[in-house]
Structure formats: structure tokens, C-alpha cells
Structure 1
């Protein structure tokens, strides 16, 4: 069966799953938006397939650039000015920045955020798009987040076709390092911060918690941490003695268990030791996230390294947690010494009144289209995302508006294609209404 015939059959199938509605609460322009989106959906599916079939793991520089070129061509075709922001300074491919400037000086400014990269390595065997019946597709990054990028582009394409972008200025930023951020962060995330300082509203097209009934009005921040412990090496028969002490592994155990005892019940807070290595000799390679060690059962461990992350919902919670962790680390067992090092990470995206307002507008658009009410997702149900670098610089921010699915970051990643048409329409309607919002 040809792709066009399959796409036509797919759209008919998807349309049959939608509620019958007269769109009574939509104005005439909004009804035209709905029709225009429906015209554009078959090509949107084709564009998702094209993007998925380009391997673009974060460290596959050429692959990320190819996906960026594809998106750039699609954005340029609808009249956006497109730039490629080179990422060599932070050891990544770079970002796509596309801009549409309204001639109306009071026009609302919207930043739309996606990303070009995936978690899959260059030589992974999971490399192609596959249609799984009418309602699902699989492939690397199909939901996270090449489908989300397509929602952005198709919504804008639909509005542009109807000349409905006249009262809104838009920047689309598709980053090339969301899954593995380039360092230093002040360089790799500079484009997001700069665009956010320009914008009034930020919209993120990650798939959030993969629930079409929710959106991310808040996201937890991410901070990396390292725990380095040293102790006196000696024969195991001398452990616990006054002269030798407890060794590095017992000290690591004390510290990690105290973290759990004192902090595990805090709301929206998690801290995970993801790697631990210890022995007479122990080395941790942070670049490759790997470790080696040598030790014997009759020798007291001299060295331990632990690498972990910390996720919290506010800067205040992050700082309070860091203080408690440091106090625990400082109470060393006899014969040991511990060092706690925090690394740069993602800032939290707080649940602000502006974010709640934007969520309400998005939910209203969904309901006016005959779909479900959209509520705030539990921040613990999704990881960090690029929008966190924008949220503190805009009046309103909302994420999780992309293509729904399951199995992200695994070879079982699937997209729920029934959410494609819906979320394009909801985005297009939201942008149209923000453009005409009295401020």
C-alpha cells in the first residue's frame, strides 16, 4: 500500500475516534483552523517518519544536524527566518532557531521549544519508523520528541495558511542537546535563556507524563552530585579500632542511609545514588559514566565514589536539601573523610499563577474542541526538560504538549497517533487565542 493511501486511511480511522461536535464555542477563524489542521495531518505523519529515520543521538553530530536541516526547511517554507546556532563551543551539534516577527509592536511573544536529539547511539539497531496499525507508530524519538517538533511546525503551518500569525511573534527553538546537555550549561542553554528573555510565553513540546489529560505546569529541577570518600587502608582485622576506624564503604553506607532517613519523606523531592564504586583502589569516569575498582575481603576499603542526582520543585527546596546533605557528610566516622560536590543542572519550573492561567487557556481550547479537560500533571511523573531554563524569564509557561506515547528512551518507544491531530489543533487554537488576548 502506498504511503499516501495509508495516510488517508489512517486519518479516516483517527477521525472516527474523535467526538462528534459542532464546535459551537469556536469562532469562524477557529473553525477554519480545525479544517486546516485536518488537511495538514497526513503530511505531518510523513514528516515524523522522515525525522525518525534519521539517527540523531545527542553525540551523533551529523545526525542531529540532518534533523535540524529537515526542520529548518519546513519552518522556512512557512515564512520563518531560520538560523543554525553552532554548538561546537559546548561539544554538541547546535540548535535551530526560527523567528516570525509581527509588525504589531504590542503583539504577544511566544517561545516554542522542542529538541532534535534522541538518547539512541549512532550504531543502535533501532533506527527506523514503523507503523503499528492505525493508532500507533514506533521508532527512536517518535514521541520524544520528533512528534512534538512536528506538532509545533504543523500548528504554525496551519495558522500561517489562514494569515492568523499577524498579531503574534514567535520563536521556535529546537535544541540539539536536550537528552545529553553540552557543557558548560551557560553556553549550551544560552539560546533558551535569550529567547525566553524576549518572550512573554513559553510552550514546551516534550511528551510530559504521556497523558493527554494533563500538561506540565511545573517541573522539578535537576542537580547532579558526587560523593568522594577516603579512609585508611589496613588489614580487615583492624576495622572499628581507634587507630584505623571504619573504612570508606561503611562511611558511604552511613551517609547514604542518613540521606534516606532525613530526606525521603519530603514532598516532590528525590535523590538517587545511580552509581557506586569502592575498594582499595576505585576510579570513576564521569564522562563515560563508568567505574573500575580493586579490593579484597581482608583489606579495609580506602576509596568510594558515588554519583547521583537530586530533583526538587523549587530553588528553596534544592538549597535546603543541599544543606542537610552537607551536614550529614560532615559528620565523618572515625578514620574517614568525605567530600560532597554538586554539579550544574536544570532549574525547577515552579507552579506560578501565570502557568495556571496558561493551563486553563489550554484546557479551555481542548474542551471547546470537544476533548477532555487538561489538568496539571504531578511533577514527579516526568523528568527535567529544556523549558525549565525558560520558565523563570516568562510570564507563563506550559510543557508536555507534544505527541503522547510510551517507552521513551527505550527500544520499545511508541507514539499514540490519536493524539497528533488533537494536540496540533489545541496548540493552534491556543496560539490564536493568545494572539487575541487582551492584556
Structure 2
């Protein structure tokens, strides 16, 4: 057994104790005081493990971001983590950290507080065992991933351009996998402007924005092509004011997922180019791709093959996985930097009340990350 894995197995109880503290601290993306406190707790743990807080990136409305460094080396490895969650303020009090059948549960336990924990303890193993990575480590802890990383994207891309490799600590969902590709993600808003009229007296003088939107929804969903990995989903709709008024306005929020950059460009053009079906209605469409597809590359697959061999030597297996969800890894992969995702916790139920992480896998996943860092 590797000395790294030996050390991390001895730290499992400490890992669980710290994870409980983190999960019991709310960190909803849109509540800066709570998210800042969560970030400060994590930064303190990294500094106590021998890392350096290189920069605080203040944000006026969302949580601050943090750059943490370790070692020197002739290049750098970027390790991406986020500490915001989708859960509202007070969720940790309503649903605190619990353990059941070897699984830890609680808001954000898998997505991705256990992932940050794995990064921390991989670093602790390297530091405590006196190991020297070949490359400088850059841990970028961000607070806005769950809403598309609007304030951290520039930081992520700048660090990605300077890095030889990027390792992303999002979780492995439900089985022992590492993520080698992710779909690109687009967000659009379609606003329909119609003409209001009395629905009983003179409806013929109106143009229903809701009826127009119904036609557009059908056109949008018809763009889905499962064989190509393209999905278009209208997930939120609103419109109208009263049942006896022909609706003058209706709005739809649209989610686009694509497997390739070419499909992203094609489907985005189609969405932005939609035309009205009904006379008297106008369309106003905004949005685009937020995250380009994270496509498989030879360099990325070589990184996976190295991790797969390490896992085998540690006594477990990992397979490669293509995810329909985006992550901050999409930003770096799109720059051409070899990127491997899904190095966080083994668990499932992200964004759901069933969210969990498998506790016995925490030392194994941390050992995999530490060994990979040492071999790069």
C-alpha cells in the first residue's frame, strides 16, 4: 500500500469531523456573509496544512474567491474547487450533517464540500510526508459556480492559461468514475411581446403572447437531438396578467446542452434566429453559451489513463465518464489545457435532498489526487 494512502486512512476520522463542520455552515451562492464565512473556514484549513493564501479576490455582492498556493516547481497545476451550494440560508440547521450506513448526508456534502476536503487532505498528505511535487499547486476556491461562475470565470481562465494541467474536484456521481468530457451549457431568455385586448369583448384585436410562446416552445424542443447529444429545454415560463385579458407579454427561460462546439454554434444561431408565428407578436431573445463543451482530447485522455493506473495500484478501479452537466473545468478545457474532472467525492444526489458522499471512499479519492499530483 502507498504511504500516501496509509497516511490518509489514518486521517479518516479527522476528515469526517472537518466535513461535518463545513456542511453545517450554510454557503448559498446568493448570501455573501455566509459564503464568505465558509470560504474563510476553508482557507484557514489550507493555511494550517502548509499552504499560502496568495490572493483574496473581493466581490461586492457574492462571496469572495481565494487563490491558495503550495510549493514551487517549474510549472503549475490548477486545482479547481467551489464552496457555494444551491441550498438556501438555514438549510444546514434544518438538515444538519448526519451519517447513515456509511454515507454522510447534508446540504452540499457531495457538491462539493467533500471535494474541497479531498483537495485539502491530498495536500496534507504531501506536506506531512515531506513530498515535493514537481509543479507548483494553485488551489482556486470560488463562490459562484452554482450560478454559472459570473465573477470567477476570468480568474479561472487566467489561471488555466498559466497551468500545465487542471484537476477539478467535482464529485463522481454514484459510481467510481472520472470525468473526461462535459456538455457545453447555454442559457437563453425568450420574451414574447403581443397585443393586449379584452378576451370577451374584442379578442380579435389582440395578439396573445402566451399562444405565440406555445408555438415557440414546440419549435425549441424540436431542436433536441439525443443522438448528437443536443438537448433544448424550456424550464421556466411566465406570462399574462388576468384570465380575461389577451396576454401582452410572456417569457421563457431556456437551457441548451451540446456535446461539441460546432453544435453549440449551430443551435445557438437557431435559437437566436427564431421568428414569430402569429401576426402582431414580436420576439426578443438574449443569451448564448455560458460554458463551451469540455471535449475529450488526447492530452486529457492521457491524464485520465495516468489516474486510472494510479487507482489500480491503490486497489480500486475508475472508468471514464461523459457528463451532461457543466463545471468550471469547461472553461479551462476550452483553452486547450489538459483537464481531468470528477476527482472529488464518490457520492450522488447533488442538488437533491438525497445528496450523500461515501465516507470510506474519502481517503481513497484523496490518495488518488495526491498520487496524481506527484506523478505529473
| TM-score, reference length from structure 2 | 0.92
TM-superposed CA distance for 1:226, in Å, is 0.8
- What is the rounded CA distance, in whole Å, between the counterparts of 2:348 and 2:308 in structure 1? 22
2:285 to 314, 317, 340: 340
1:30-179 matches, cutoff 5 A: 31-89=2-60, 91-102=61-72, 104-105=73-74, 108-124=75-91, 125-133=93-101, 135-179=102-146
Aligned residue number for residue 311 of structure 2: 366
Aligned residues: 375
Q: Specify which of 339, 354, 378 is matched with residue 322 of structure 2.
A: 378
Q: Deviation string for 1:49-105 (max 9, x for gaps)?
A: 11112111112322222222222222212321114523324x211112111242x43
Distance 1:315 1:120 in 2: 31
CA offsets per residue over residues 239-270 of structure 1, 9 Å max, x none? 996xx575222211111111222434452222
Alignment of 1:306-345 (within 5 A): 306-327=252-273, 329-343=274-288, 345=290
Q: CA deviation at 1:238?
A: 9.0
| Residue equivalent to 1:390 | 332
CA distance in 1, matches of 2:32, 2:208: 44
Q: Is the partner of 1:376 in helix, strand or coil?
A: strand
Query: Are positions 1:234 and 2:178 aligned together?
Result: no
Pairwise CA distance, 1:315: 2.7
**In the alignment, which of 134, 154, 157 is matched to residue 193 of structure 1?**
157
After superposition, give the CA deviation of every residue in 1:154-211 in whole Å (9 maximum; x if it has no partner): 11111122222242210011111112356xx3x4322211211121111111114332
Residue in structure 1 matching 2:349, options 394, 407, 410: 407
The Cα of 1:326 is off from its aligned counterpart by 3.2
Q: What is the Cα deviation at residue 216 of structure 1?
A: 1.2
- Answer yes or no: is the 8 Å Cα contact 1:239–1:300 preserved in 2: no
Structure 1 residues not aligned, in runs of 5+:
1-22, 24-30, 280-293, 435-439
Q: With structure 1 as the length reference, what TM-score do the two structures score?
A: 0.79
* 8 Å CA contact 1:200, 1:396 repeated in 2: yes
Aligned CA distance change for structure 1 residues 352 and 240 (closer, same or farther; 3 Å)? farther
Listed as ranges, the gaps of 5+ residues in structure 2 are: none
CA RMSD of aligned residues (A): 2.3
Checking the alignment, whether the CA contact within 8 Å between 2:300 and 2:339 is kept in structure 1 is: yes
Structure 1 Cα separation of the partners of residues 194 and 133 of structure 2: 67
User: Which residue among 238, 255, 258 is the counterpart of 2:216?
Assistant: 255
Asked whether the 8 Å contact 1:239–1:247 carries over to 2, the reply is no
Question: Structure 1 stretches (4+) deviating beyond 4 angstroms?
Answer: 235-241
**How far is 1:389 from its partner?**
1.9
Q: Which residue of 2 aligns with 1:10?
A: none
Shift in Å, 1:145: 0.9
Deviations 1:215-254 (A, max 9, x none): 111112222111111222334479996xx57522221111
Asked whether the 8 Å contact 2:118–2:366 carries over to 1, the reply is yes
